[in-house]
Structure 1
Amino acid sequence: MRGARMRPADVELREARPIGAEEPMFDGYPGALLEHVRIAVVVPTYRRPALLESCLAALCAQDLAPDDYEIIVCDDGPSDATRAVVERAAAQHAPRGLAVRYLPVRETQGPAAARNAGWRAARAPLIAFTDDDTVPDRGWLRAGLAALAHAEAAAGRIVMPLGDPPSDYERDASGLARAEFATANAFVQRATLVQVGGFDERFTAAWREDSDLHFAMLQAGARVVRADDAVVMHPVRPARWGVSLAQQRKSRFEALLFRKHPALYRERIGSGPPRLYYGVLISVLALVIALACGQQKIALAALAAWLGLTAAFCARRLRDTRHDIRHVGEMFWTSLWIPFLSIFWRLHGAVRYRVWFL
């Protein structure tokens, strides 16, 4: 049974200051101006001032009236460079009536906590979320407002340009464009955020915190729709060699999401890591045991299985991606370790969050 429809007017818009967040820097805006803002844009950032500057330029050029929206930059790891970028944007656009506010978040780290600080500091009844490395289209906010006229939340369209051919990392990152609900481009009624408690701050990395919010809203009876006219450009950032190894740490948050929403996890996300990962693990265990027992033939068979599975994994990652020496070398090296790291971090999450999750 669907929950009762929530209206922005049903909640008190003033809240206590978020734990770990200071008062917004730009309090010089007239109270009446902020009280009549229709939508607040929340942008978490972490020491990427150049990217943030491009994002703010696009946000300040929206085709809404300047006093219809405000921008709140939540600095998760406050820095003078980030503060300076926001100050410049605020000074430039204040004469037009557009409020650009800076919110340093010191004690609670992570994008989930930063977004919570942002929407709780907002005066508007509607909240838009995007990231500091996006470039929203000029009509982005207008399309988001239209979607929220008949829904509690909406997911916009994310465009991610790729190289031709892309790297394995770029292809993997582009999965964000196919996400059902991603906070790089999302709109939510503030009343709905209040009802579900906002983001779960245990998601300390940028992984699955948006899925958790999505699932929480669905379970609360909220209507979540697509807003494909609300477009943001999200270029894939350059990454260091071997980045896929470090990314396996995010797997621990899969266990937390599964513990909170087991049915929706199975329905919307599906199973665990590829069976190939477990095949690799079993092959290596068999190799070690066979060597310890002096079973040379079994050891050779296990070694062949391990190398064969690893080669298949590497070949799959190279399919339709770059074939330069640097990239091929990276795929070979990381393919050796990813199965072990992925399983380790999933088990780490299962133990930490006390859930049976393989």
Structure 2
Amino acid sequence: VLGDLRDRTTVRTGGGRGPAAARNTGLRAVSAPWVAFLDDDVQVGPRWCEQLTRDLTEASPDVAAVQGVITVPLPGGRRPTDWERGTAGLARARWITADMAYRTAVLKQVGGFDERFPRAFREDADLALRVLGAGHRIRQGGRTTRHPVRPASRWASLKHQRGNADDALMRRLHGPDWWDKAVAPRGRIRRHAAITAAGAAACALAAAGHRRAAAVCAAGWAAGTAEFARARILPGPRTRDEVTTMLVTSALIPPAATWHRLAGAWRHRNAPAWQEAAR
């Protein structure tokens, strides 16, 4: 049992620059051979410390990190909402730092977390790909950590689109096939871009007086938006509030996602691949 940790806790400030910078701040203060990372919204079990010790003891020398098993409790008696399904995906995610232990020497060898990732998104996958690229292994451990679904506003999925800028950075650092390397879902960015282009074209053509062409583009926008909304509504509870949220955000997400992706590509246009930066 971990017990009261107040006498054994040291708080260090990271300047509010995101989780990557905060973890690097903690890393600089570590002298132990292993560093264990936990997110602030997870719940460890009563035997977590014992299980962590076992995971690290059993790690062979070529294993640089041991990931915990993440469980996401979902409500019973109804289908999960879009937000709950998104959180449940963490249980299948590779290399997430919700519960991850790294060898301190390996972290310092690869330069720690990349602080250009300002959100809790992709910074863990980027680190893992650099660790694997340096010739180390990452394996799954036996310890279990619970990740409850935190409350979120109806606009949470819209705000989440900022992560598309981080996907652009991942592409610059790890190449166009980074999705496969990171074993990450590719997402719908191409469809979002097509829907956004159709909507923008419809507006431009209508303003220029090309009504027929504008109608065709508007129909394409409507069809794409309807398909997106349907894909999000059908697996959910289909309550009035959930359906309304899905309809509104499904119209707003494609342009938001496209904007953040383009902004990220421009912002990180000169970022070298991580192999080049490591030389």
TM-score band (shorter)?
0.7 to 0.9
Q: By how many angstroms is 1:106 displaced?
A: 4.6
On the 8 A contact 1:147/1:225 being kept in 2, the answer is no
Unmatched 5+ residue regions in structure 2? 272-279
- Residue 242 of structure 1 aligns with an amino acid whose one-letter code is W
- Residue 327 of structure 1 aligns with an amino acid whose one-letter code is E
What do the CA deviations read for 1:218-241 (whole angstroms, capped 9, x no partner)?
0111111111x2110000100012
On the 8 A contact 2:158/2:253 being kept in 1, the answer is yes
Q: By how many angstroms is 1:144 displaced?
A: 3.0
1:262 maps to 175
Task: Determine whether 1:136 maps to 2:44.
Answer: yes
On the 8 A contact 1:112/1:199 being kept in 2, the answer is yes
Q: By how many angstroms is 1:333 displaced?
A: 0.6
CA distance in 2, matches of 1:355, 1:177: 34
CA distance in 1, matches of 2:187, 2:91: 21
Task: Determine whether 1:217 maps to 2:131.
Answer: yes
Aligned counterpart in structure 2 of residue 102 of structure 1, from 10, 32, 36: 10
What do the CA deviations read for 1:151-204 (whole angstroms, capped 9, x no partner)?
221111100112331110111122111111110011111111111111111111
2:152 maps to 239
2:53 maps to 145
Aligned counterpart in structure 1 of residue 188 of structure 2, from 269, 273, 285: 273
2:68 maps to 156
- Residue 263 of structure 2 aligns with an amino acid whose one-letter code is H
2:255 maps to 340
- Residue 2 of structure 2 aligns with an amino acid whose one-letter code is C
1:79 maps to none
CA distance in 1, matches of 2:176, 2:52: 29
On the 8 A contact 1:215/1:264 being kept in 2, the answer is no
- Residue 332 of structure 1 aligns with an amino acid whose one-letter code is L
1:351 maps to 266
CA distance in 2, matches of 1:106, 1:187: 20
Secondary structure at the counterpart of residue 188 of structure 1? strand
Q: By how many angstroms is 1:140 displaced?
A: 2.5
- Residue 203 of structure 1 aligns with an amino acid whose one-letter code is F
Alignment of 1:33-182 (within 5 A): 60-61=2-3, 89-91=5-7, 100-107=8-15, 109-148=17-56, 149-150=59-60, 151-163=63-75, 164-182=78-96
TM-score by length of 2: 0.87
On the 8 A contact 1:134/1:232 being kept in 2, the answer is yes
2:205 maps to 290
On the 8 A contact 1:273/1:342 being kept in 2, the answer is no
On the 8 A contact 1:152/1:222 being kept in 2, the answer is yes
- Residue 131 of structure 1 aligns with an amino acid whose one-letter code is D
CA distance in 2, matches of 1:257, 1:294: 41
CA distance in 1, matches of 2:220, 2:167: 28
CA distance in 2, matches of 1:143, 1:258: 36
**Deviant stretches of 4+, over 4 Å:** none
Q: By how many angstroms is 1:270 displaced?
A: 6.2
2:240 maps to 325
Identical-pair percentage: 36
CA distance in 2, matches of 1:327, 1:186: 33
Secondary structure at the counterpart of residue 9 of structure 2? strand
1:303 maps to 218
Secondary structure at the counterpart of residue 171 of structure 1? helix
On the 8 A contact 1:205/1:250 being kept in 2, the answer is yes
Unmatched 5+ residue regions in structure 1? 1-58, 62-87, 92-99
On the 8 A contact 2:2/2:49 being kept in 1, the answer is no
- Residue 165 of structure 2 aligns with an amino acid whose one-letter code is R
What do the CA deviations read for 1:115-165 (whole angstroms, capped 9, x no partner)?
112122123211111111111123333333333331221111100112331
Larger radius of gyration: 1
Q: By how many angstroms is 1:271 displaced?
A: 4.4
On the 8 A contact 2:71/2:91 being kept in 1, the answer is yes
Q: How many residues align?
A: 263
On the 8 A contact 2:14/2:21 being kept in 1, the answer is no
On the 8 A contact 2:193/2:254 being kept in 1, the answer is yes
Q: CA 1:322 to 1:355, structure 2 compared with 1: closer, same or farther past 3 Å?
A: farther
TM-score by length of 1: 0.69
1:80 maps to none
- Alpha-carbon RMSD across the aligned residues, in angstroms, is 2.1
CA distance in 2, matches of 1:264, 1:284: 29
